[in-house]
Amino acid sequence: MSALTRCFQKEAAAIEAAAERLSSDQVEGALALLEHCADSKAKLVITGVGKSGGVLDKIAARELTERILKAQRLA
């Protein structure tokens, strides 16, 4: 099994676990908060230990990628 397949399987399991524990109200509330932060150009600080730190790394990497892509489109 490839590393990519293992990664996708882990991500799918994490999404399934989150779907079982979170209500749609919780998800909508979190998305609304993130949208508000983006609209108001607010800074968002995320902290965590253990697995949360891994999540933070993924969020930071995705944000950096999005900023690079946006800069390339504007150039």
**Domain segments of the chain: what residues?**
1-42, 45-75
Q: Answer whether 34's CB lies under 8 Å from 26's CB.
A: no
Q: How high is the pLDDT of residue 53?
A: 65
For residues 48-70, give the mean pLDDT.
75
pLDDT, tens digit (0-9, with 9 covering 90-100), for 8-52 = 898 899 888 888 888 889 889 988 988 998 889 888 777 656 666
Can you tell me the mean pLDDT for 56-68? 80
For residues 36, 38, 21, 17, the Cα torsion angle rounded to the nearest 10 degrees is 170
Give 68's pLDDT tier (boundaries 50, 70, 90): confident
Encoded amino acid at 27, one letter: V
